[in-house]
């Protein structure tokens, strides 16, 4: 069983990929993962334009060839004509995981009513000998952190659960490496029967 987690990070932006401005999505994701994960991991990054065929090809490459266990995309999930990340994600998935998108919108609705315009989705992509979870995240670094981590009140009590709490168990169920997190950042949830004792 491979112990190293491989995470694909894909920032989808016409302007950032064209050099008009600095991409903020991938650095925000790398910073959050470095704080949240207690398991060894490496990242594969891609910065690409809002082109559906290229998004699909990139997701397929990261799962089928690079063999990422988890792929996080940022950008391209709004209602404008150029926003095609959800369509590309659904096209390469073999199973849809609607709960992730539902919870992302719930978290964002605590801040802005326009959260209902976001169309983030999550899917599993399966090949004969590998599977990965692919999730669309918001484009803004602050929103990425809130979505992954969830919301706490001033006393540290959880108001809304972040989506990453469910990711390690999902990766278990599709045959990926066992992921442990820093509980101060994000406590992974597993049924008691699925928890492994640290060696």
Give the model confidence (pLDDT) of 74-85 as tens digits. 999 999 999 999
Q: Helix, strand, or coil here: 47?
A: strand
Give dist(CA 85, CA 25) in Å, integer. Answer: 14
Q: What is the per-residue pLDDT for 152?
A: 80
CB 54: neighbour CB atoms within 10 A? 16
CA angle at 106 for the pair 105 and 109, rounded to the nearest 5° = 80
How does the average pLDDT of the chain come out, rounded?
Answer: 93
Q: What is the per-residue pLDDT for 160?
A: 83
CB 93: neighbour CB atoms within 10 A? 20
CB 111: neighbour CB atoms within 10 A? 12
- Asked whether residue 1 carries a pLDDT value surpassing 90, the answer given is no
Give dist(CA 153, CA 142) in Å, integer. Answer: 16
CA angle at 13 for the pair 12 and 19, rounded to the nearest 5° = 125
CATH 3.40.50.970 describes domain 5-190: no
- Asked whether residue 2 carries a pLDDT value surpassing 70, the answer given is no
Give dist(CA 150, CA 163) in Å, integer. Answer: 7
Residue in this structure with the two tokens 């004509």, named with its chain if needed: 81
Classify each residue of 129-152 as buried b or exposed e, where b means 16 or more C-beta atoms within 10 Å of its C-beta: ebbbbbbbbbbbbebbbbbbbbbe
17-32: pLDDT as tens digits: 788 788 899 999 999 9
153-174: pLDDT as tens digits: 888 788 888 999 999 999 999 9
Q: What is the per-residue pLDDT for 16?
A: 81
Q: What is the per-residue pLDDT for 161?
A: 84
Q: What is the per-residue pLDDT for 166?
A: 97
State the average pLDDT over residues 55-81.
97
């Amino acid at each position: 069983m491979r112990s190293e987690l491989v995470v694909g990070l894909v920032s989808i932006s016409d302007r950032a990929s064209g050099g008009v401005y600095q991409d903020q999505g991938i650095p925000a994701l790398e910073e959050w993962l470095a704080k949240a994960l207690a398991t060894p991991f490496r990242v594969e990054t891609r910065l690409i334009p809002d082109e559906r065929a290229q998004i699909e090809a990139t997701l397929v490459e990261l799962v089928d060839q690079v063999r990422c266990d988890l792929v996080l995309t940022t950008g391209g999930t709004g209602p404008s004509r150029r926003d095609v990340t959800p369509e590309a994600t659904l096209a390469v998935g073999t199973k849809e995981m609607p709960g992730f998108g539902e919870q992302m919108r719930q978290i964002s609705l605590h801040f802005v009513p326009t959260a209902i315009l976001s169309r983030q989705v999550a899917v599993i992509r399966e090949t004969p000998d590998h599977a990965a979870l692919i999730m669309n995240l918001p484009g803004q670094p602050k929103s990425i952190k809130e979505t992954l981590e969830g919301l706490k009140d001033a006393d540290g009590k959880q108001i809304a659960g972040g989506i990453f709490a469910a990711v390690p168990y999902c990766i278990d169920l599709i045959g990926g490496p066992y992921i442990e997190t820093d509980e101060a950042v994000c406590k992974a949830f597993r049924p008691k029967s699925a928890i492994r004792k640290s060696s």
